[in-house]
Structure 1
Amino acid sequence: MKKNMLVAMAMLIAIAFVACKKSADAPAEPQTARTEQAQKVYSYIIGLGFFAHTIVEHPNEFIVEEDIIFPKNMKVPDGKVSTEQYYTGSLVSATNVTNIRLKIDPSMTSMTSEINSAIAQWNSVSGCTIHWTVTTGTSDVLITDFNLGSGICGQGTFPSGGVAGNLIRINKAYIAGNSFAQRARTICHEMGHNVSFRHTNWSAIGESSATPVPGVGGTDASSIMNGGQCGSGATVLSTKDKQAAVALYH
């Protein structure tokens, strides 16, 4: 009897060992697939000409070329991207562009002067209907402080559904040591993304293809929309920046 009990116990231990080993060697559970909406946004980004390797996926958004935000719940424009819609295939509507309401998060109030300087740049483009206002109530765009790590000054969101991109993130601690003009430049640059502009120097910095604004082609070393120039770029809208703004919003 005792011998039979020992044999039975040995068999149970062997079975338990095999079961544990099988569990350890089992394939990992597959990751949850993207929702249909998220996949639609991803396909839209690819359709704009962005390279897949420049797209970083987060739970609620895609970040492209380090400083452009695509929320997964964004309204994806219908139809094919047209040439006139230079960077995104989606412009701010004629009604909304004349009063883009910007709300300053409490985390950014210390840079209110820089924000106002950036606003003045866009609002002063002759013949262009882009007009920003600061609001404490209902807003179209929120500007907030966000730790983006080293090397990234800010991020902006492209427009969708006829309204300006709804978020600007500024890496406030990272740009704190820059000059006033350079801090305002960072904000002005991200505001450009909010109304559809991509990086003017996309080719030089190895980014994906882009279609020139009609009538305003070519490179522009003085463009405030040049990427990869955190703390060292042009601090005012160039002649071509202004021409492009007028071409898209006149």
Structure 2
Amino acid sequence: MKITIKQAAGLTLMVAILSGVVYSCKRDNNQDLVQQEQKTVSDEAKKQIASLGYNTDNIRNVEGGYVVEGDIFLTHESLNYKPNSPVLRIANDEQYRTNCLITPLPKTITVSISGLPSGYTTATDIAIARYNALGLRLKFTRVASGGQIKIQYASLGAGILGQSAGFPNCSTGNPPSPIKLNSDANALGSNPNQNYLATVIAHEIGHTIGFRHTDYFNRAYSCGSGGNEGSAGVGAVHIPGTPTGGDPNSWMLACIPNGVNRPFNANDIIALRYLYQ
């Protein structure tokens, strides 16, 4: 969503063409705001970000680090990380995962939500139900507080829906936290479309369990602009059995239009079951 799922990544780090507003994991439609924020990013930081394999267009300077590629959060410390694999450039729209996944299996991950309107809790339950309906060895359950994945309110600025914390921890096999959602954003608000918000949340959960963007190699596929997000030290491993052609309805595309519901399609289900069944 160009405000779709604007979220993502700590150091275990690592991700429509519309005539109207498109919302990308963390792309801001307000160009003046983007330009203003870019001015605060030093040339040295841009070089470090580029060295990790990330595109340096529209970098956002946020508390504790930077947001790049629309939905990837990089801490200041992570800029010193030296990837040991080259940037991948695969010109196929398939499903991709990071090098590290949730382990061991079976596992149930708890999810809590706080500081957001009640409709966000309902949407979280819908997102959780989408995963649990697949009969995976990885399951989710919502708890009142203290979840392994905490979904919480954050004021992220105009046009930004949310920000995920990244990808699975390679050492522990646990998901990162929190997922931040911006109920101030016009596309969400206090009473958003439930299925649309569930899609946003499911996408962000997808990152926390190891999924890269389906179109990570070319964000222009779903966003209308943007390039290769790179391996960025966390990998972009093709998931066998997923398509080599365009997949315009995947829940893990970098961008989706405002208000669109994207439950898991057939290829998404293949990918989820390959990793976690």
TM-score normalised by length of structure 1: 0.68
CA distance in 2, matches of 1:69, 1:142: 16
- Indicate the RMSD between aligned Cα atoms, in angstroms: 3.4
| Residues 1:46 and 1:178: Cα distance change in structure 2 (over 3 Å) | farther
TM-aligned CA distance change 1:51 to 1:124, over 3 Å = same
Q: CA 1:86–1:224 in structure 2 vs 1: closer, same or farther (change >3 Å)?
A: closer
Q: Does 1:156 align with 2:164?
A: yes
Q: 2:264 aligned to 221, 237, 244, which one?
A: 237
Match status 1:115 vs 2:129: no
Higher share of residues assigned helix: 1
Q: Which runs of 4+ in 1 moved over 6 A?
A: 76-79
Deviation, structure 1 residue 150: 2.8
Give the 5 Å matches for 1:178-197.
178-197=192-211
User: Which residue number in structure 1 is paired with residue 273 of structure 2?
Assistant: 246
Write the deviation string for residues 129-163 of structure 1: whole angstroms up to 9, x where unpaired: 22111123543111011122233222212221311
Unaligned runs of 5+ in 1: 1-30
The yes-or-no answer on 1:170 pairing with 2:174 is no
CA distance in 1, matches of 2:227, 2:193: 27
Count the aligned residue pairs: 207
Q: Distance in 2 between matches of 1:156 and 1:114?
A: 16
Cα distance in structure 1, aligned partners of 2:199 and 2:181: 11
Name the SS of the counterpart of 1:103 in structure 2: strand
Higher mean C-alpha displacement, 85-94 vs 117-126: 85-94
Kindly state the Cα deviation for residue 107 of structure 1 after the two structures are TM-superposed: 3.1
Question: Which residue in the other structure is 2:69 paired with?
Answer: 65
SS at match of 1:63: strand
Aligned to 1:198: 212
- From 208, 227, 239, the counterpart of 1:213: 239
The alpha-carbon distance between structure 1 residues 151 and 79, as it changes in their structure 2 partners (threshold 3 A), is closer
User: What SS does the corresponding residue of 2:269 show, helix, strand or coil?
Assistant: helix
Say whether the 8 Å CA contact 1:68–1:193 is kept in structure 2.
no
Counterparts in 2 of 1:137 and 1:169: CA distance versus 1, 3 Å: closer
Structure 2 counterparts to residues 92-131 of structure 1, below 5 A? 92-95=102-105, 98-126=107-135, 128-131=136-139
| Cα distance change, pair 53–185 in 1 and its aligned pair in 2 (3 A) | same
| 5+ long unaligned stretches in structure 2 | 1-41, 89-94, 231-235
**1:214 shift after superposition:** 2.5
| Identical-pair percentage | 25
Pair member with larger Rg: 1
Normalising by structure 2, what TM-score?
Answer: 0.62
Check the 8 A contact 2:108/2:138 in 1, yes or no: yes
Q: Distance in 1 between matches of 2:85 and 2:142?
A: 31
